Copies of this chain bind each other. A is one copy, B any other.
Amino acid sequence: MDPIDQDTAYDVFSKQCPSRGTLEHVTGRWGALTLGALHDGTFRFNELRRRVDGVSEKMLSQTLHALERDGLVHREAQPTNPPRVEYRLTPLGREITERLMSLIHFVEGRMDGVLEARERYDSVTAGGR
């Protein structure tokens, strides 16, 4: 656990709390992968699209907007012609992404156990549970 005051005014378990929306931007399929990609540096839209395997142009665009609006991603348009637009994490985005990556790497590191559990589950289910 982080040494953070956990009695904040915000509570993702409450349906109305805005933190639930932000958590979804961070942990949603494309949000998590986009933050993870930006953890490695500053990228242009098409570079990001290649890194986030499987994302459509529309979904990546929506994802970046939501993360920018929440203050986690910074979008910078250089005054060139054509404009060069780059995305990078803000300091807040970086802090959140560190914790997200910790979770992602942990899950990746435990996948052997997860796949074994799935096999057990499926064999029991097939045998008439």
Contacts and interface: CB of A to CB of B under 8 A. Distances in A.
A106 B2 contact: yes
A111 B69 contact: no
Interface string A38-75: 00000000000001111000000000000011111000
A8 B109 contact: yes
A126 interface: no
Given A8-B109, A71-B114, A102 B99 contact: yes
Contact of A4 (B105, B113, B115): B105
Interface in A69-119: 69-72, 92, 95-96, 98-111, 113-118
A1 B113 contact: no
B69 A122 contact: yes
Interface SS of chain A: helix, strand, loop or mixed? helix
Contact of A118 (B23, B70, B105, B107): B70
Contacts of A104: 12, 23
A81 to B, nearest CB: 19
B92 A113 contact: yes
A1 B105 contact: yes
B22 A27 contact: no
A12 B27 contact: no
